[in-house]
Structure 1
Amino acid sequence: MSSARRSINVDGFNHGAQPIPAASRVGGLVATGGIYGLDPDTGKLPDDVAAQARLMFWQLQRVLAAAGAGMGDIARMTIYAKVPEARAAVNAEWLKAFPDPESRPARHTLTYEHLPANMLVQCDAIAMVTDNG
């Protein structure tokens, strides 16, 4: 039985031992799993929230590109923040990623203290693309 769903994975990003892809694409819909600021050079999370936010957006761009999408295709993002300082760090990267106030995705930011280990911020996104990728 074949499925229209395709798992999306990228080198330098993973969910550890969990059997979860970075994202899934069904037709033009792309939904990510939790995207976080994993440094592909070290395989670890930096301790700094600003560095984690920067890497999180960078990893998100990579995952979307592997699915045939881009930042301009995002309709909604959810941000999970472990510490209050995460909001300012995310906002700085948000403005870089979405500089046009007339073209930004919807966003919801949640305080979530149960992120694992030293993970201070994580996101997920839903994007829609029109190609047949």
Structure 2
Amino acid sequence: MSRTSIRVDGFDHGAQPIPVASRKGSLIATGGIYGLDPETGTLPDDVAAQTRLMFWQLERVLSAAGAGFDDVVRMTVYAKVPEARAHVNEHWLKAFPDPASRPARHTLAYDGLPANMLVQCDVIAMVDGHD
């Protein structure tokens, strides 16, 4: 079973030779997913917009890998500012509305995010069947 690099138009890790996600069989793991604005190609300066766009970009990456929010089993969130948690929770509840079927999540206070990035996540997902 081979590994497949996942790419999404308009979203990448810059000049780094890293795909946005990788899939091997039923397992999907993302790299860092952040709130890149597709219209400007930049990060907005506010955490609310970055969080909304992070979840939107995550949905795109999962879709490109053949998955969706229902397939996520673990999410790690890196937050540079404390107020990020409330915005993450807002979008978390939209993405995972069923309290009996939510992935595990770990939210870390992390000051090492680059430039004006205020929030970032990565996920592990598992899909039924495999290519």
TM-score of Structure 1 vs Structure 2, range by shorter chain: over 0.9
Corresponding residue to 2:31 among 25, 30, 33: 33
Structure 2: tracts of 5 or more residues without a match: none
Distance in 2 (CA, whole Å) between partners of 1:80 and 1:39 is 18
Corresponding residue to 1:21 among 19, 25, 28: 19
Q: CA deviation at 1:41?
A: 1.1
Corresponding residue to 2:71 among 70, 73, 77: 73
Distance in 2 (CA, whole Å) between partners of 1:91 and 1:20 is 28
Which letter does structure 1 place at the counterpart of 2:50?
Answer: Q
Q: Which residue number in structure 2 is paired with residue 85 of structure 1?
A: 83
| Post-superposition CA distance 1:45-102 (Å, at most 9, x none) | 0011011000000000000000000000000000000000100110111011111111
2:42 is aligned with 1:56 = no
Q: CA deviation at 1:130?
A: 1.3
- So what's the TM-score if we normalise by structure 1? 0.96
- So what's the TM-score if we normalise by structure 2? 0.97
Structure 1: tracts of 5 or more residues without a match: none
Q: CA deviation at 1:132?
A: 2.5
Identity of aligned residues (%): 76
Corresponding residue to 2:127 among 122, 126, 129: 129
Q: Which residue number in structure 2 is paired with residue 107 of structure 1?
A: 105
Q: CA deviation at 1:12?
A: 1.5
Q: Over aligned residues, Cα RMSD in angstroms? A: 0.9
Distance in 1 (CA, whole Å) between partners of 2:45 and 2:124 is 27
Distance in 2 (CA, whole Å) between partners of 1:95 and 1:89 is 10
Three-state SS of the structure 2 residue aligned to 1:41 is: coil
Q: Which residue number in structure 2 is paired with residue 118 of structure 1?
A: 116
